[in-house]
Each structure stands twice: as structure tokens, then as C-alpha cells.
Chain A
């Protein structure tokens, strides 16, 4: 393995969430757990069927004349793995229903927004919403990315609901702006204007305009409360002239981890991600930090280019559940050699389960999106060390 530095343990600042906000969040979680039943059922029923299926297979094998001991052992290990998976899911559900603290990191809120967009891509496509993503620089904020993603999801879901009333021309725009000491994320849609009487009560707990079973009315009230815990705010404007926009305002952190710096002869980087907006945000971060990044949407093309151009630092997006992802990393390690830096990224929560498999296959490290500023410090250390090796290699070639 090429990594010279061990990934440092990050001490995460935990903030207590005020009691009145915790109560709202608890109610929302219970409501959401009802709506999450599809995902939960799928998550539990899969390993349950795997365990049951292998147990049934073993029962049939025991009736055979020749006892296939090794085959049975393999299937028993799969049953154990499935049970461990179910245990993790149930622990996750238990954690969800408990009161929680904020886990604060500095992240690019643009990446957080893209996670939410990716989660909703099927719903956006189903009603043909045109999504515009206006990004020109990383927007660092200190936040609990999971909570903020939930807020964005809530606002975008409401926008999609409203846009169904447009016969055609359904648009959502995500943009970013500075306002004094604030960094703002703006989510705009061209759906019907929110009627004035409704605007007055929009952030009130349990107020909803949706039909029964479609909304609890907790989302915006909790969202506003969470933004206030982040020392920010959630506001909105809705009028005929400008459409409807929701604005998440965050205090600008003292330090910008993605400020432009000069880097001498930095080792080149290849970035492979299917999502063009995600490629753009990550590419811009590395460009500001002084690296030359080539980005690709196609894995084969990106890897071929990396090999052809002697690039030894590569970031790839992976999808959990795909054994192809693990095989691909193994192949990549084989082709790029033991000193290459191979980082995987994913915005699927289940990516965490895949991490050991990916590292076993040759990944240097694995990150969940959004990639925190702390992780960037660690990545930069490895990249700078790779730069030294790269330049040494160039000198040897020139000599």
C-alpha cells in the first residue's frame, strides 16, 4: 500500500442541540421512519432472505451422499455476514430514534446540495424538472452535513410537489451568494407563488398544505430550528416577479480551506465521477489548491488517460452493492502500481460497509461525500508526498 501517512483521527466538535429543537427532530424522525419503511424493509429483507436461503441450501446439501464440507462452510460464513448486516441496520435504526448531537465539520455546501440532488434524481426526472446548478467556487461552511442535506431535501421535495402544478416548464435553480458575513445557499423554483396567508404560517410546526399522508408539516419548522442551532437562518421569498426561493444562511467560517495557493510542480490528478456537477466542484477545489486535474465521466476513458499520462493520483466515484466497484479498484491498483494514490468517494450511506472491501482491493482510502476539509488536509499530505516522488521520477527521466 502506498500511503506513507496514516489517516489522522479527527476530533469532531459535538454541539448539544437545544431541547425544544430535539423534540421537533424526534417527532420528524418518527414521521420519517414511517415514510422510510420502503427502504428499511428492503434493507432488512435482503440479508434476511440471504441468511434463510443459505440455511435452506445447507439443509438440502446435508441430505446428499457426499457431504460438501467446504461448500457448506462458505455458506455458513455468508449467513453470519448477513446476520451482522441486519444487526448494523437495526443499530442504525436505534440511533435514528435516539436524540443526537450535531457532528460539525467544514464542508463545501455545494457538495451537500449535490448529495440531495442525487437523492431526488428519480423524482426530478419523473416530472421533468430542469435543474440548474450555478457554481463558481467552493462554499465552506461549518455544519452537520447530514442535517443540512435533510433540510435541502425537504425544501426540494416541497418544490417538486409545487412544480407538479405547472403544466410544463418546471425549473429548480441552486445557487450560492455572499451577503456580508454570510454564505447563502439559494434554492429557487418557478412553481406557483405561495399564497400570502400560507406564507405567514409556513415555518409553524405541524402546518401543512399537503394531503393526509403526504406531509407532517414538521419539515420547515425543524429546518429553521436546525439552521438557528447552526447560528444561521432559513428564510424565503415568494412573489409573482421572482418566483419562490428558500435561502439557507450560514456564518462564514474564519478559515477557508480551499483558498487559492501556489504549488510548485504538483502531481497531476485524475477525477472520475458520472455526475458533471460533482466533477466541477471537486475539480475547482483542487485547482485552487494548485493541482492540475483532468476529469472524466467514463471510467475506462479516465483510467486509460491516467495510464497514458503517467498520472498516479486518482479519485473515483463508487456505488455500493456493485461488486464491479471492488473489482475495478483491484484492477486499477494492478494497472497503476503499488505507489499510486487511489481514493474512492461515494454519496451512498451504505458506502461505509464497503470500505474494508475497497481498501482490501487496493484503495488508498475511501471517503463519503461531502468530503470534509479535515479529510482534505490528509489528502493533501499524501498528494504532496506523491508530488515529491513524481518530481524525482521526472528528474531521473531527464538525467
Chain B
């Protein structure tokens, strides 16, 4: 009997509603399940509820709790989920802080589809064939 392979679960954190909608559409079309968080606080609440993910895409600049706050929370909780930072302006000190806390993958907006999907596959350990099958 073949095992049913569950779709990877991705959490998208961005305070921009259109951005969330676009990324959800893009990732869903590529065969991933997507959960959305509108803020750092919302993302932290989701983790505190016990939900688990295979990958996190996180904006840096958000009101109240920023992307760095999310990274810090995950590190303090010992949550090892891979994360990609997707930011409109890669401020050097923020990137360094994130890297010091173990998040080294940064994409600068606007990110092209191929570049984003390649990095997503890479972080999820999926090869090119994996995406083609899901499309």
C-alpha cells in the first residue's frame, strides 16, 4: 500500500493582506498547504496553540511584533522550523540579528516566482520533480 504523503504546511507571516493572499495563491498552486498570520503577534499565538509547520515565510517590518520578535520567540521556545525571511528592505542590523539566531535565508522583495519556489523546495528538501507533480 502506498503511503499518502501529506502536503507540506507553510506559515506565511506578513501584515500586508494582498501579500498574504498572493503568497497563499502561489504556494497553494504549487501544492502546499498555507496558513496565514497577519502579524508577529498572530504568528506567536498560532505557535502557542500547538500548530506545527514545515516552513515559515516571514516579513521583517511589521507593526507591534516584528519578524525579529518572531525569530526570537521561536528560538526561545526551541522551535526548529526552517524559516525564510522575505523583506522589502534588508536592514543590515536586522539581518545580522536573525542570522545570529539561526535564520540565514533572506529574500528581498520583489522576489521572482522561480527564486521563491526554489528556496521553498530547498528548505523543505523537495527536488524539482516534487513541484512539477503538484502543479
Q: Interface on A for B, CB 8 Å cutoff?
A: 37-39, 41-50, 52-54, 56-57, 60-61, 75, 78, 81-82, 319-324, 348
Contact = CB atoms under 8 A, between A and B. Distances in A.
A60 B26 CA distance: 10
A54 B22 contact: yes
B78 interface: no
Contacts of B16: 46, 50, 321
Contact of A49 (B21, B29, B109): B109
A78 B22 contact: yes
B18 A81 contact: yes
Contacts of B42: 324
Contacts of A82: 18
A348 B23 CA distance: 25
B61 A42 contact: yes
Contact of B110 (A52, A57, A61, A75): A52
Interface residues of B, number: 29
Given A56-B112, A60-B29, A38 B22 contact: no
B113 A53 contact: yes
A48 B89 CA distance: 13
B1 interface: no
Nearest to A324: B38
Secondary structure at the B interface, as helix, strand, loop or mixed, is: loop
Contacts of A45: 88-89, 108-110
Contacts of A75: 25
Contacts of B64: 319
Contacts of A43: 88
B18 A37 contact: no
B71 to A, nearest CB: 15
Nearest to B21: A78
Contacts of A78: 18, 21-22
A217 to B, nearest CB: 24
Contacts of B110: 45, 48-49, 52-53
A48 B111 CA distance: 9
B63 A48 contact: no
Which A-B residue pairs are the 6 nearest by beta carbons? A42-B88, A45-B88, A49-B110, A41-B89, A321-B15, A56-B113
7 contacts: A45-B89, A46-B88, A53-B26, A54-B22, A321-B15, A321-B17, A322-B39
Given A50-B19, A319-B64, 7 more contacts: A47-B18, A50-B22, A52-B110, A54-B25, A57-B26, A78-B18, A82-B18
A50 B18 contact: yes
A57 B29 contact: yes
A319 B63 CA distance: 8
Contact of B17 (A39, A42, A57, A323): A323
A47 B23 CA distance: 12
